[in-house]
C-alpha cells in the first residue's frame, strides 16, 4: 500500500511538472474593440491573431504556445486602466497596446507595477516613453516627429496661405496639433486660427462657418477620422473647399465612408506603408487570402509581437526586465524590417511621409 501511494504521488508530481512545462504563455492585445476607434482596434486584433497563429504554428515560444487575450478599452482612459489590471490578473507577460495615447499612458503605470512588457503599435504622444518606464516601447513614431514633418510640409507647400489648427483635446489630437503648430511657428508661420472641439462632436457647421468667414485655406486637424471626415464633408456641404491635412489617425477606410467625395485630396502623415516591405510579403498575402487588407496598424501590431518573441528567445525567458534589455540591445526582424529601440523604448529610424486620399484609397509616392 505504501509503495502504491509513493508511486501515485510520484506520478502526480511528474504530471504536474509536465503540465507546467507545457503551459501557455499569456499575452494580450488591448485597444478600442468598440467605440469610435473600433476600426483601429480591429486592425490591432487581426494583426495580433495572425502573429500568434503563425508563431504557434512554428512551435510557439520556448516550447510553449502563446495564448492571446483581447482587451477592449474603447479609447477611454479609465477603461484602459481596468483592462490593464485585468491583464495583470490574467498573468499576461506582454501587451501589444494600446491604440489611443490617452489609454496607453495611464495603462503603462499598471504594466510597470506588474512587470509587464508593453509595446504600443500606435500611440504617438511623446509622454508615453518620456516617463522613463523600463517596460514601455512602441513600434510607431512620435508626435514630435510627425508634427515636424507636417509643419515643414505646410510651411513649404502652402506659403502665404491661411492656416487653421484644430484639435480634439485628447492626448493624441492636441499633442499632434501642438507639435505641428510648434514647427510652423519655428518656420515663421503664424496660424490664423487655433480651435478645439470635443471628440465625438457631430455638428461642425458653426466652426466651418467661422473658418469660411476667416478665409482659411488649410485646415490641420489633430484628431481622429470620424471628426475629420465630418469637418471636411460639412465644409463641402456649405460650398467651402479648403485643403484638409491630418495625421496617422486617418489610416482607415472608415475615413472615406464618412467624408465621401469631400475627402478627395485629403493629406495625412503616416510611416511608409509596411505592406510594401519584402519582409511582409508572405504575411500580407496570407491576410489577403483571408479577404482582409492589413492596412493601418495591423502590421505594426504583428511586428510588436515578433519583436517581443525575438527578445524572449534571445534571453530564453519571459522575465520582463531581461526581455526589455534584449529589446533595447539589438535589431529584431519583423514585417516592418529590422527594428531596434532606444533607451526610452522608442523605435529607432521612425519616418513619416505624406499620403493623399484619392478615389476612396490612400497612397503615397
How many CB atoms lie under 10 A from the CB of residue 43? 27
pLDDT at residue 23 in the model: 83
pLDDT tens, residue by residue, 341-352: 999 999 998 899
Taking residues 125-154, report their average pLDDT: 97
Where do you find CATH 3.40.50.2300 in the chain?
Answer: 8-141+276-339, 144-270
Q: Lowest mean pLDDT of 2-6, 315-319, 360-364, name the range.
A: 2-6
Q: What is the dihedral of CA 77, 49, 298, 201, to 10 degrees?
A: -40
Decide yes or no: CATH 3.40.50.2300 for domain 144-270: yes
Checking if the pLDDT of 211 tops 70, the result is yes
pLDDT tens, residue by residue, 93-110: 999 999 999 999 999 999
How many CB atoms lie under 10 A from the CB of residue 278? 8
The dihedral built from the CA positions of residue 327, 305, 112 and 38, taken in this order, carries a sign that is positive
**Domain 8-141+276-339 architecture:** 3-Layer(aba) Sandwich (3.40)
Amino acid at each position: 500500500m505504501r509503495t502504491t501511494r509513493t508511486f501515485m504521488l510520484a506520478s502526480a508530481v511528474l504530471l504536474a511538472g509536465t503540465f507546467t512545462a507545457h503551459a501557455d504563455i499569456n499575452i494580450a492585445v488591448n485597444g478600442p474593440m468598440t467605440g469610435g476607434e473600433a476600426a483601429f482596434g480591429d486592425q490591432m486584433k487581426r494583426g495580433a491573431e495572425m502573429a500568434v497563429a503563425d508563431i504557434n504554428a512554428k512551435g510557439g515560444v520556448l516550447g510553449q504556445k502563446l495564448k492571446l487575450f483581447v482587451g477592449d478599452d474603447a479609447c477611454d482612459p479609465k477603461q484602459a486602466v481596468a483592462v490593464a489590471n485585468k491583464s495583470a490578473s490574467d498573468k499576461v507577460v506582454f501587451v501589444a497596446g494600446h491604440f489611443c495615447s490617452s489609454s496607453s499612458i495611464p495603462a503603462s503605470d499598471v504594466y510597470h507595477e506588474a512587470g509587464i512588457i508593453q509595446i504600443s503599435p500606435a500611440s504617438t504622444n511623446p509622454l508615453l516613453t518620456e516617463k522613463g518606464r523600463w517596460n514601455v516601447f512602441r513600434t510607431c513614431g512620435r508626435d514630435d516627429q510627425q508634427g515636424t514633418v507636417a509643419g515643414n510640409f505646410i510651411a513649404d507647400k502652402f506659403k502665404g496661405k491661411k492656416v487653421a489648427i484644430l484639435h480634439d483635446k485628447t492626448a493624441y489630437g492636441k499633442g499632434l496639433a501642438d507639435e505641428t503648430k510648434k514647427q510652423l511657428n519655428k518656420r515663421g508661420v503664424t496660424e490664423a486660427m487655433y480651435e478645439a472641439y470635443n471628440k465625438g462632436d457631430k455638428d461642425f457647421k458653426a466652426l466651418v462657418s467661422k473658418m469660411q468667414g476667416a478665409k482659411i485655406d488649410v485646415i490641420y486637424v489633430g484628431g481622429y477620422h470620424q471628426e475629420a471626415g465630418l469637418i471636411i464633408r460639412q465644409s463641402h456641404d456649405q460650398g467651402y473647399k479648403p485643403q484638409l491635412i491630418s495625421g496617422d489617425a486617418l489610416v482607415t477606410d472608415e475615413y472615406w465612408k464618412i467624408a465621401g467625395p469631400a475627402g478627395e485630396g485629403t493629406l495625412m502623415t503616416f510611416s511608409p506603408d509596411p505592406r510594401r516591405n519584402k519582409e511582409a510579403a508572405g504575411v500580407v498575402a496570407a491576410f489577403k487570402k483571408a479577404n482582409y487588407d492589413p492596412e493601418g496598424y495591423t502590421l505594426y501590431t504583428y511586428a510588436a509581437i515578433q519583436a517581443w518573441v525575438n527578445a524572449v528567445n534571445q534571453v530564453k525567458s519571459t522575465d520582463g526586465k531581461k526581455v526589455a534589455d534584449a529589446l533595447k540591445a539589438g535589431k529584431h526582424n519583423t514585417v516592418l524590417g529590422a527594428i531596434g529601440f532606444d533607451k526610452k523604448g522608442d523605435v529607432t529610424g521612425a519616418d513619416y511621409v505624406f499620403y493623399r486620399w484619392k478615389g476612396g484609397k490612400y497612397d503615397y509616392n
